[in-house]
Structure 1
Amino acid sequence: MAPQMSYKHSGVKEAARKDETGMETWSDFKYSATQLDLAGVKFQAGNLEDLFDIKFSKDRRYCFRVCKRGCFEIPPFRVDDYTATFLRNLIAFEQSCIGIKDRKFTSHAFLMDKLINSPEDVGLLEEVGIIRNGLGSTEEEFLVFNNICKNVSPNDSSFQEPCKEVSNYCKQSWPKFAAKLRRDYFGSPWTIISIIAAFFLFALTLLQTIYTLLSYY
């Protein structure tokens, strides 16, 4: 009799810890997709075969560590007329089954709910191939994700690590500054050409000044 009571007690404790961890993760994660983009985070469509293979890493294409961009990799998925009902049923199943330890569909829904706060967020995720639109408008997709987690308790944190890494990355100053430089000065080929031309003109002027001074002395 005693071991059975101990088992139940430990199960309740474990469930309580998962509840606290899940609520803490989602309360700390306060960034939408467009806000993350402004903070220097790049979104990328991930593994097509695993919906839950969500990860955050630094882009290795940059030579210097300080210039590396954060890359939030999320597997692509299609949103159509049946998505809301399908996800609701899966979330309800996970919430009602005590034996399920990792409520990954619930966590995935909470992540998308956090990332999508406006149709602009949907448009950004569509542009990089994470969301595949089967509804016809970004407004309809926004409503799907805006309502999917209502009256659902965030009692799981399957994506705790990548969400924590994203939050820590967004607290840094350099990624925001670098993202602003890319938007304001390197957003189009004409802007880049203008900057190169201005730099070339400055270099010529500097060389001419140095040559004049050397000739004088």
Structure 2
Amino acid sequence: MEVNTEPFINPLVDADMTQDSVVQRLLDRVKKEERHINQFSPSIYMAPRTLRDTSPTSFNPQVVSIGPLHREDEKVQAFEVRKTSYLIDLMRRAKSPQEEILKLCVEKVYTSMEKIKACYVWTKAYGDAEIADMMIMDACFILEFLLKVSISKARSEGILQSNVIFYDLVLLENQIPFFILDEIFQCTVLEFSPNVSLLELIYPVLSYVNIFKEHVKINNISVNNTYHILSLLHQCYKPPDNIKKGHRKSTIPSAVNLDRAGVNFKPNKDPTWFMGMEVKLYMFPCFIGSWSKPTLRIPVLEIYDFTEIVLRNLIAYEQSGQTHSYVTSYAIAMDMLVDTQEDVAKLELYWWISFTSKYCDAYWPKNIANMKRTYFSSPWNIIALVAGIILFAVTVVQTIFTIKST
């Protein structure tokens, strides 16, 4: 009789042990992620796919790569070698020896290395030395570029290319952490210009890419709550503290329907909030007393070559959940207000829309000329373009529901 010498394994016990190990692995994973979230949440990442797929070029830098996410893009390689010249120019401004300044910059970056890594959703692995080199080089480029702008020397780089760089600096996927930019600023610019603030230095960028007629203000911006330059622009659009922030869901009739109901449309001059919409009642005398004429005052949106890009990046940033969805709410409100080309035409009669000719770098004039022939050849084409930009809010709504359902 043959004896089975293999150990007896109770399948029920083995199943229990397997389930326990899976539970433990999941608990370990949750605890690890909780520690990571509590320390620092990523603020620089690729845009949500539902937004990116509809317009990939809205998130890709055209001239200069900042940070790791687009560092290997073919389009920005030509400018990578030029960053060194900006670093040299910045060091030449300082009184201290270059070696001392660079050593201090490296120390600052290495001290914050883990915090820097936590700011990104990485698409490729980089070593600490590569990250340090990247952060210092990109921060020095930004600071020197801003200094050149502030003293009217950016024209030496060419007006067209400089204009595009402004927009590259506010792309969600093209950022370095603001605290690192501030650290390098303190090590370099403050060393030779102690009375300059970083916010004042960045202001020309915020002003240039501003999508509304009203001038941006930085008086109430907190650097401590700023993740990067796009985050800084987003803060410029937040409502003041005295405006109640609610979460009420309401429906806005279309512009045509409001007009039929007797509502006038006017630009919101000197608004309390950039994106604020308000209804005012104006009393007019008549033979039986007086009657009121409601007027809807709307923010003045400037339509130019990069308006859509700025809007898309601000909305993509809001999808992180780390900030309020001011711009998204504005886009959704405009989507309800503008439902057809007739709505756009109705608003166009009352609502002043500025078409600003802001060109791009040297290799874009032909493309822009084609765009003008296509979209600006007639008033109806202009209306269609405005409608297309505003109605992209539909994509925003779809993104919100997609994110909430996952």
With normalisation by structure 2, the TM-score equals 0.29
1:177 corresponds to? none
Q: What displacement does 1:44 show?
A: 1.0
Identity of aligned residues (%): 26
Deviation at 1:129, TM superposition (A): 2.7
Cα pair 1:51 1:77 within 8 Å, conserved: no
- Residue 298 of structure 2 is matched in structure 1 by 74
| Structure 2 runs not aligned, ≥5 long | 1-245, 357-374, 377-381, 402-406
Contact 2:335 2:390 in 1 (8 A): yes
Report the CA distance shift for 1:132/1:125 in structure 2 as closer, same or farther (over 3 A). Answer: farther
- 1:181-200 equivalence runs, <5 A: none
Distance change >3 Å, CA 66–CA 93, structure 1 → 2: farther
Q: Structure 1: state its 5+ residue gaps.
A: 1-19, 155-217
Distance verdict in 2 for CA 1:59–1:106, change over 3 Å: same
Q: Which residue of 1 aligns with 2:315?
A: 91
Report deviation, 1:120. 1.9
Structure 1 116/133 Cα, relative in aligned 2: closer, same or farther at 3 Å? farther
Question: Secondary structure of 2:354's match?
Answer: strand
The structure-2 alpha-carbon separation of the partners of 1:133 and 1:71, relative to structure 1 and needing over 3 Å to count, comes to same
Q: Label 1:48 to 1:121 Cα distance change in 2 as closer, same or farther (>3 A).
A: farther
- The residue aligned with 2:386 is 141
Q: Which residue of 2 aligns with 1:47?
A: 269
Aligned residues: 130
Contact 2:263 2:293 in 1 (8 A): yes
Answer 1 or 2: higher relative contact order, Cα 8 Å, separation at least 6: 1
Shift of 1:60: 2.8
Aligned 8 A contact 2:298 2:351 in 1: no
Deviation string, structure 1 residues 31-83 (Cα, Å, up to 9, x no partner): 11111101111111112564223211211344678721111111211112211
Aligned Cα RMSD in Å?
2.8
CA distance in 1, matches of 2:302, 2:326: 17
How many angstroms apart in 2 are the aligned matches of 1:108 and 1:122? Answer: 16
Local SS of the residue matching 1:152: helix
| Corresponding position of 2:400 | 153
**Preserved contact between residue 75 and residue 130 of structure 1 (Cα < 8 Å):** no
Residue 305 of structure 2 aligns to which amino acid in structure 1?
D
- Do the aligned residues in 2 keep the contact of 1:57 with 1:70 (CA within 8 Å)? yes
Distance in 2 between the 1:145 and 1:65 partners?
A: 41
1:47, 1:53 within 8 Å by CA — same for their partners in 2? no
Tell me the SS of whatever aligns to 2:308. Answer: helix
Amino acid at match of 2:280: S
- Counterparts of 1:62 and 1:83 in 2: how far apart (Å)? 42
Offset of 1:96 from its aligned partner? 0.9
Cα distance in 2 for partners of 1:88, 1:62 equals 46
Runs of 4+ in 1 over 4 A off after TM superposition: 62-66
**TM-score, normalising length: structure 1:** 0.52
Larger radius of gyration: 2
Report the counterpart of residue 160 of structure 1 in structure 2: none
Paired amino acid for 1:138: I
